[in-house]
Structure 1
Amino acid sequence: MSDFKYPHLFEPIKLAGTLFRNRLFASPTGYQDIKGDGVLTEGAAAYYERKAMGGVASVAICEGIVDGELGRGGDYHICLDNPLALHSLARVAHAIRRHGAVASQELQHAGMYANRSLSFLGAAAKGVAYGPVECELDGRTILPMTEEIIERTINKFADAAAFAKQCGFGMVTIHAGHGWLLHQFLSPELNRRTDKWGGGAVENRARLAVAVCNAIRKRVGPGFPIEIRISGSECYAGGYDIDEGVAFAKMLDGHVDLIHVSAGSHEVEEVFAVTHPSMFLPDGCNVPFAAEIKKHVETPVATVGALGDAELMEEIVASGQADVVEMARALIADPDLPLKIRTGRTGEIRKCMRCLACFSSELSNGQDYCAINPEAGRDLELKYDIPEAAVSKKVLVAGGGIAGMQAALTLRERGHEVILCEKSGRLGGALRCEERVPFKKKLDDYLNSQADAVARAGVDLRLGTEVTPEYAESVGADVIISALGARPVKPNIPGIGGKTVLSAEETYINPEKAGASVAILGGGLVGIELGIYLAMLGRKVTIIEMLDHISDGGNFLHVLGLKAELRRYNIDLQLSTRATEITDIGVHCESGGAGKFFFADTVVYAVGQRPLQEEASALRFCAPEFYQIGDCVTPANIMNATGTAFTIARDIGRF
């Protein structure tokens, strides 16, 4: 195939004598569902195995803490000095390996951030933590690492690498970025030691990381790949920049087999959305750090961050900006991404929206549930799933939004006859109003992709068709799924009917209707994102929210990216503030018992959605089986809509 479209992405690479089948690696992602004895559940093996099935060359698994006593960063971290972890880790490594991918274990030590919330360890959790120097953190005194503790730590990393190799992993990934211990020693802001492990010179601050690499190499031997993840730049005032990132990489050159270049620090709020790129940043936003470091080292370099576009990733490798492209959330959204690229099916890829629903869900629920991939987080149950229903049925799906499209697709996969009716002339539902928003391009791509998949799937699609009870009866379906969605709530505030008042939906569709200054009622995700969009268009924006915080809808990590954009565009966020009256020139409000007035040419309401429950329920007895899904039950989010639609559609036809 001389016309193969992405030859550089699928060129093998050898690291320490190990052959990796292509240049696409799955970077480490967490897995919070562990047993009480600190070992991974069977679900972890299925989760990481699913990525290997999709065609990546390597799959790195969750953080393995090298020192369970002094290095554990959270309740749900596995410890590589716990011998009971052997069997569960071996199961994960085998699951990855048998699909032709190299399994990698991440090695981590939390340093000064260790032992902050080890709730289930009881008396063993003394809150003791060591860092480069003595300091105060979260009301605790962090102790400086002595020579003995440093030596212990180096040995712990080496022991952990050897344990990972024993478990069947074919590589280790040392985490020396994002604010963890090795990064703390490298940071000029945190490491103010005056001995050989600190001081002003980068050589001293990097000494611990280099010593760790050398100790690991001695333990695992020359034929075992060692990857190290670093922050090429800390990306905040007071932190080091790319010049020191290059100097650090040069010190690592020859001591490892792959230098994996990320950015930022998890402990600095303003750069969280750089370390984990938000939807507001461009694709490949952190690639320049890797590209600059690659100019100065002989060791192969990997890049990571907001990657998943085939054309961009091919260009990165082809142009020599990096040797390896690593992805995290892109492979949660679509673990088959590598195979789809290789086989020319890029139009079928579920493109990660970078909404951080997966990360928030992992920390809250222990599973990486994805907004647009309903299979994510359900890997174990689907591994043993029967692909077709026992009984094929005729199913009418009313509503072609997020939930309706997913239900129709899953039903067809399971062999049912599906009729999908949409009242408007287009699939996609209410979220189509955001298609002009630059940072929502991935959402629009998803809606288009789902609509295309419906067209390919053999669904009987009937656009411009309202499903009334009479119409539903005439279809003669065995099953009806009602996915009619919701409509914006119009708050009962004096002046809400004024000529200067718009709904959020109308404003998204026609932003030119908004004046030079805009007051948005509602500080949930809809109102905040709309405010950012209008500010990007040059409007002066004030957001008024009754609560004392941004209402995150369960996606609390996305809020960190929103806050960065609020600062960027100087948007005025008024919390604990209630609108009492709207006039032609602004909004009267009450806050803390005092009155306030905010001048505005336009007032926009974004205070929630009213579920179309009665309209949906009107179809309840028009077929033997009936299901009500998505926002017409309770308005929530994309993840809820896809997950419920997928699961209920799989339930149909069991008998």
Structure 2
Amino acid sequence: MAFDSLFQPVTIGTLKIRNRIVKSPNTTGTCNPDGTVTQRTIDHYRTLGEGGAGLVMVEYTYVDDDAAKSIHGQPGAANQEHVAGLGWLADEIRAGGARAGLQLVHSGRQRFLGTAPMKSASDSSWDVAEMPFGVRPAPMTTEEIAGVVRSFGEAAARAHAARFDLVEIHAGHGYLITNFLSPHTNKRTDEYGGGAENRRRILLEIVDSVRARVPREFPLSVRLSVTDYEPDGITIEETVELCRLLEEHGVDVVHASGGHHALQHYEASSWFMPRQLHRWGWEKIKPAVSIPVIASGSLVSPEVADEIIASGSADLVSVGRALLADPQWPEKARTGRHLEIVPCIRCNDGCLVRGLEAKRSVGCTVNPTVVEEGRFPIGTAPAAKRVAVAGGGPAGLRAAAILHDRGHRVVLFEPRELGGDLNHAVGSTFKVDIAELRRHLVHEVERRGIEVRKAAADAAALADGFDEVVLATGAPKRPFPGPVSGTALVIGPNDVTAHADTLAGRSVAVVGGGFQGVETAMRVAELEGTSVTVLERGDSLIRGDEVHYDAEELPKLLVKAGATVKLGHEATAIEDKGVRVRSDGIESLVEADAVIVALGREPSRSTLQTELDAAGIPARTIGSADRPGRVFDAIHAAFWTARLI
């Protein structure tokens, strides 16, 4: 598949760029506490430069040593001590053929360090940023505003001195400038508050400050949110007018995103949100300006990105988490290897929940070596072995591919369709990202020509001439605890796709309101004419150790999809006409034509590891066969285990 539009050169101001792909400035958390870069920072961005992107934007970089820094491990451009490292970084990016950009920011009320001082337009509170130490944002004085305006200009001059090709002002996503732009957070009554003209004053002053300190031919970008999606927030009409003014003040490109951290599902959208969800906004900006517009927001696939350029919707595309998942995304797309791209599944598990939110550097569910580039090569094994992999789910598929790449002769045992638990996403309109991961993992096994035996592996088969064994048989579904009788269709979550035609237009009861139950109910709700009832014995949906973005948003989306939720309803039996439930000591029948048992998974009861140990066959159990977990656990276990065999 060709992506001709995506790989046309483009110009921003006087800057020529080899293609239309911009690496979005995702935070990595790899810098020193003083804001200087580390070898990890360098290696990460060098890899991105070599991966084929046209412009690599370095993550948001703080502009002063007062209140601008937002998060641990953040780069700085606040003083001269930062310039040498930034210059090193810019050179490493350009060495791979990409152009290098630096984004500048003031944290505003999103000072995730949780420490004073926290400065904003007003004292508009957001508990997430304040929880660590109870620090609330203080409204900035006009003298402090003037200082920040000056700091942005001085930081831009340092970016120019470091020989970056472009500098960007971050005026979106809930940081300081957005705190002024949005009526939701700006309650001031002076010349920086009130109407749109006053609220955008600080940004225009910052742009003028930058333009006064760098040559006119040095390109300037502004990243902004088309709206913050708050009911009382930024309107698209204000944003369009702002973009016109930015062009008049010397801005060379608009980088259009959306949302802010308090509404994170609009900013770093999860798998259940639409792709390219801010398109409606940037398409209103583009005809209003003559400078290029960069589209941003869940543009995770080259198919989506190329269509945006081909249709004239935007001039460039900003690709963020997808290049954390696979920094070779652009080069693989350019050379017709798009099925080899490791797809971002927008889970926010590795990058945010287990990464930055855990005070670590950024991580990735599908790329275990992000920000550890070059340190853990797969390499060739000292001796080729005959290795069996039992299980064709995500852990087994990934392990088989890595083992093959290490030079081993691999046999993969899987009695059913390859993909395991990922197969439930096939055909779903809101689980496209998971379906893409399944397609990629299966493709990687197939293109390597790995032998697949359509059979369940038992101890005898695994001991038949194999030097080592990887057990990736998954975890069994938790069974329904009561009696099951009658003629009602009773299936599991993974059976929905196969029974889609049967379920359409019928009433379906989903037993279980955990993550598995809720996502299954949403999958069923997609089927035309189907009514869905979720039965949960507890007092809330999605409890336990789940990605909190899912836990916060999925129940709302489930109700929006038209599903009925019955909390405090314990399913006791499945009968001819539905599910017998008990609530507050009273029994009743929830009528349903079909019942889906979605009670999660339980620890594996397989004895294969013990049997192989007794037979003297080295065996390693990975993924949910070892411990029920998420996709992150399966992919990481496969990588770290297979590279040692």
TM-score above 0.5:
yes
Deviations 1:314-341 (A, max 9, x none): 3322332211111112212222121122
| Partner residue, 1:391 | 383
| Partner residue, 2:499 | 510
From 226, 231, 237, give the equivalent of 1:232: 226
From 476, 488, 493, give the equivalent of 1:487: 476
User: 1:395–1:481: 8 Å Cα contact kept in structure 2?
Assistant: yes
From 66, 69, 73, give the equivalent of 1:69: 66
1:307 equivalenced with 2:299 (yes/no): yes
1:407 equivalenced with 2:403 (yes/no): no
Compared with structure 1, are the counterparts of its residues 140 and 331 closer, same or farther at alpha carbon in structure 2 (3 Å cutoff)?
closer
User: 2:342–2:437: 8 Å Cα contact kept in structure 1?
Assistant: yes
Q: What letter corresponds to residue 222 of structure 2 in structure 1? A: I
Question: What is the RMSD computed on CA atoms of the aligned residues?
Answer: 2.9
| Partner residue, 1:470 | 460
Q: What letter corresponds to residue 254 of structure 2 in structure 1? A: I
From 49, 53, 57, give the equivalent of 1:56: 53
User: 2:580–2:588: 8 Å Cα contact kept in structure 1?
Assistant: yes
What is the distance in 1 between the residues matched to 2:213 and 2:119?
A: 25
What is the distance in 2 between the residues matched to 1:515 and 1:546?
A: 28
| Partner residue, 2:131 | none
For 1:7-406, what aligned pairs fall within 5 Å after superposition?
Answer: 7-81=4-78, 85-86=82-83, 88-114=85-111, 117-118=113-114, 125=115, 127-138=116-127, 142-200=137-195, 202-254=196-248, 255-268=250-263, 272-357=264-349, 358-363=351-356, 364=358, 366-382=360-376, 385=377, 387-406=379-398
Compared with structure 1, are the counterparts of its residues 171 and 547 closer, same or farther at alpha carbon in structure 2 (3 Å cutoff)?
farther
Describe the SS at the equivalent of 1:173.
Answer: strand
| Partner residue, 1:121 | none
Give the count of matched residue pairs: 628
Compared with structure 1, are the counterparts of its residues 392 and 540 closer, same or farther at alpha carbon in structure 2 (3 Å cutoff)?
closer
Q: What letter corresponds to residue 524 of structure 1 in structure 2? A: G
Shift of 1:137: 4.9
Shift of 1:150: 0.8
From 503, 510, 516, give the equivalent of 1:520: 510
Compared with structure 1, are the counterparts of its residues 263 and 609 closer, same or farther at alpha carbon in structure 2 (3 Å cutoff)?
same
Deviates more, 1:500-509 or 1:98-107: 500-509
Describe the SS at the equivalent of 1:387.
Answer: coil
What is the distance in 2 between the residues matched to 1:374 and 1:141?
A: 36
Q: What letter corresponds to residue 7 of structure 1 in structure 2? A: D
Counting aligned pairs with the same residue, the percent is 30
What is the distance in 2 between the residues matched to 1:598 and 1:105?
A: 61
Shift of 1:80: 2.9
Compared with structure 1, are the counterparts of its residues 160 and 564 closer, same or farther at alpha carbon in structure 2 (3 Å cutoff)?
farther
Shift of 1:400: 1.7
What is the distance in 2 between the residues matched to 1:335 and 1:528?
A: 33
User: 1:531–1:543: 8 Å Cα contact kept in structure 2?
Assistant: no
From 411, 414, 425, give the equivalent of 1:419: 411
User: 1:508–1:530: 8 Å Cα contact kept in structure 2?
Assistant: no
Deviations 1:464-511 (A, max 9, x none): 22222222222x12211111112201143x445665554333445425
| Partner residue, 1:612 | 604
What is the distance in 2 between the residues matched to 1:167 and 1:473?
A: 60
User: 2:623–2:633: 8 Å Cα contact kept in structure 1?
Assistant: yes
| Partner residue, 2:435 | 444
Compared with structure 1, are the counterparts of its residues 168 and 596 closer, same or farther at alpha carbon in structure 2 (3 Å cutoff)?
farther
From 550, 556, 579, give the equivalent of 2:548: 556
User: 2:67–2:118: 8 Å Cα contact kept in structure 1?
Assistant: yes
Describe the SS at the equivalent of 1:487.
Answer: coil
Structure 1 residues without counterparts, runs of 5 or longer: 119-124
Shift of 1:141: 5.3
What is the distance in 1 between the residues matched to 2:517 and 2:311?
A: 41
Deviations 1:152-174 (A, max 9, x none): 01011112222333444322221
What is the distance in 2 between the residues matched to 1:157 and 1:498?
A: 71
Deviations 1:291-346 (A, max 9, x none): 22010101111001121333432332233221111111221222212112211222
What is the distance in 2 between the residues matched to 1:91 and 1:40?
A: 9
Describe the SS at the equivalent of 1:51.
Answer: helix
Q: What letter corresponds to residue 647 of structure 1 in structure 2? A: W
Q: What letter corresponds to residue 197 of structure 1 in structure 2? A: Y
| Partner residue, 1:453 | 444
What is the distance in 2 between the residues matched to 1:109 and 1:572?
A: 44
Deviations 1:450-471 (A, max 9, x none): 2222122132222x22222222
| Partner residue, 1:536 | 526
Q: What letter corresponds to residue 232 of structure 2 in structure 1? A: G
Q: What letter corresponds to residue 416 of structure 1 in structure 2? A: H
Shift of 1:432: 1.6
Structure 2 residues without counterparts, runs of 5 or longer: 128-133
Compared with structure 1, are the counterparts of its residues 243 and 530 closer, same or farther at alpha carbon in structure 2 (3 Å cutoff)?
same
Shift of 1:27: 0.6
Shift of 1:533: 1.8
Compared with structure 1, are the counterparts of its residues 163 and 470 closer, same or farther at alpha carbon in structure 2 (3 Å cutoff)?
same
Shift of 1:406: 0.8
| Partner residue, 2:130 | none
What is the distance in 1 between the residues matched to 2:486 and 2:361?
A: 46
For 1:643-654, what aligned pairs fall within 5 Å after superposition?
Answer: 643-652=636-645
